A = this chain, B = another copy of it.
Amino acid sequence: MRINPHYLTLPKNYLFSTVAAKTREFQIKYPEKSIIKLSIGDVSRPLPKVVVAALRKASTEMGQVKSFRGYGPEIGYPWLRQAIANFYTNLGVHLADDEIIISDGAKSDSSNLLDIFDRDATVAMCDPVYPVYLDTNLMLGRQPQFLHATAENNFLPLPDDSIKADIIYLCNPANPTGVCYNREQLQQWVDFARRQNAVILYDAAYACFIDDNSLPVSIYEIKGAQECAIEICSLSKMAGFTGLRCGYTIVPKKLRTKEGVSLNYLWQRRQATKFNGVSYVVQRAAEAVFTQEGLSCIQANIAYYRRNLRLIGATLQKLGWQFFGGVHAPYLWVRCPQNMTSWQCFDYLLQECGIVCTPGVGFGQNGENYIRLTGFNSYTQTRAACRRLLRLQKC
């Protein structure tokens, strides 16, 4: 049996399992103490009514001969692709509906996109980073170049000539740091990629949190981006689809090699060969998200999480703890007080406040001395957590 040898060199990612184990131990030791998770990377608000209604209607259709649907188009139904294209038109971005390819989510797409690139292509990504980008490249035997995100550059590294990569990952707004590039900074990346003939894999999974009209929501609001960037989008955080599973990836037809090969063709070929499309009922649910009613409901959910984020942010300010992000993203990237390491700070918050956070070092070396907090818990729990944090001040 000849297995992929690179799987054996993967670092075992103990981050979330260690967080869970330590939390469990604490709970056993102090059964009377209540624990609040500000480590949650998952939505907690339910699906909007209009989405549930669409799901139920589609489910009923599947039980009747006349409305039953078998295999759909591998790249998604035209009505959903068109609804998304219309959404982009409102941003001033004009896309053909077959430049939008529906999938089961951004995690799958960001991983599977590597299939269409040369095995020997080089990659660059931030440190700290969403672990999926790193692990999927290690699985191919690649050692990525890291773009150092630190407090000095506000965790927003910019291009320079030391970067040599065929593929550049940008997650914007960023996971785990919660920061967001502005238009001028993104233009620098697009210009750089075009000069280097590189492709930007632009992960826009958190774009729905952008709270400033001057910031681009899509990379295609940047001049020249259709010639160098693939945008990966998800309904997970935008519309609460983490359990329902739907996303989409935009591969513009202008994105071509020097020899004229279309990356849109390559991605469609990959998906048509290796994928059979997203569940019909889920696509109907996604279609409902892009209606007027759907969009207004999901704004209410995002506003709910934003209120949590503002509350945590105000609390950290009162404590005098430095932090990044939390405005245009559901993540706050907090400098550990008193020069604690990430794990020391994790233990400190658990012991003193019963609060669970995510140690920043789990996302890369530059994450040391930071923790990640999220706005995804309920408002009641978030408020209780903030009260506990403020008590630290009095000690």
A: residues with CB less than 8 A from B are 1-5, 7-8, 10, 42-49, 51-52, 55-56, 59-60, 62-65, 68-72, 104-105, 107-108, 111-112, 115-121, 132, 135-136, 139, 166, 197-199, 240, 242-245, 256-258, 261, 263, 266, 269-270, 273-282
Do A274 and B117 touch (CB < 8 A)? Answer: no
Do A273 and B56 touch (CB < 8 A)? Answer: no
Of all chain B residues, which has the CB nearest A277? B245
Q: Which of B64, B274, B279 contacts A107 (CB 8 A)?
A: B274
Do A68 and B46 touch (CB < 8 A)? Answer: yes
Do B244 and A62 touch (CB < 8 A)? Answer: yes
Residues in B with CB closer than 8 Å to A275 are 104, 107-108, 111
Do B243 and A69 touch (CB < 8 A)? Answer: yes
Do B273 and A111 touch (CB < 8 A)? Answer: yes
Closest 10 CB pairs of A and B: A52-B63, A111-B274, A2-B118, A55-B59, A42-B70, A70-B242, A46-B68, A69-B243, A2-B121, A243-B280
Do A45 and B68 touch (CB < 8 A)? Answer: yes
A261 and B52 in contact, given A68-B44, A274-B108 (Cβ under 8 angstroms): no
Do A281 and B244 touch (CB < 8 A)? Answer: yes
User: Secondary structure at chain A's binding surface: helix, strand, loop or mixed?
Assistant: loop
A-B contact pairs, 22 of them (CB 8 A): A1-B197, A1-B199, A4-B266, A10-B269, A43-B70, A44-B68, A46-B63, A47-B68, A49-B63, A52-B60, A55-B281, A56-B59, A62-B243, A70-B240, A107-B274, A107-B276, A119-B119, A243-B280, A244-B279, A245-B278, A245-B279, A282-B282
Q: Assuming A46-B63, A47-B63, A139-B270, what are 10 further A-B pairs, CB within 8 angstroms?
A: A1-B166, A1-B263, A2-B117, A4-B116, A7-B116, A8-B261, A68-B243, A104-B275, A105-B276, A281-B282
Q: In the assembly, what is the distance between CA of A105 and CA of B277, in Å?
A: 10
Of the listed residues A2, A45, A120, A266, the one surrounded by the most CB atoms of chain B closer than 10 A to its CB is: A2
Of the listed residues A7, A42, A119, A275, the one surrounded by the most CB atoms of chain B closer than 10 A to its CB is: A7
Q: Which of B65, B69, B281 contacts A281 (CB 8 A)?
A: B281
Do A4 and B52 touch (CB < 8 A)? Answer: no
Of the listed residues A1, A44, A136, A139, the one surrounded by the most CB atoms of chain B closer than 10 A to its CB is: A1
Do B1 and A198 touch (CB < 8 A)? Answer: yes
A205 to chain B, nearest CB (A): 11
Do B257 and A3 touch (CB < 8 A)? Answer: yes
Q: In the assembly, what is the distance between CA of A69 and CA of B244, in Å?
A: 8
Q: In the assembly, what is the distance between CA of A107 and CA of B276, in Å?
A: 7
Of all chain B residues, which has the CB nearest A41? B71
Residues in B with CB closer than 8 Å to A278 are 245
A274 and B136 in contact, given A2-B118, A49-B63, A269-B10 (Cβ under 8 angstroms): yes
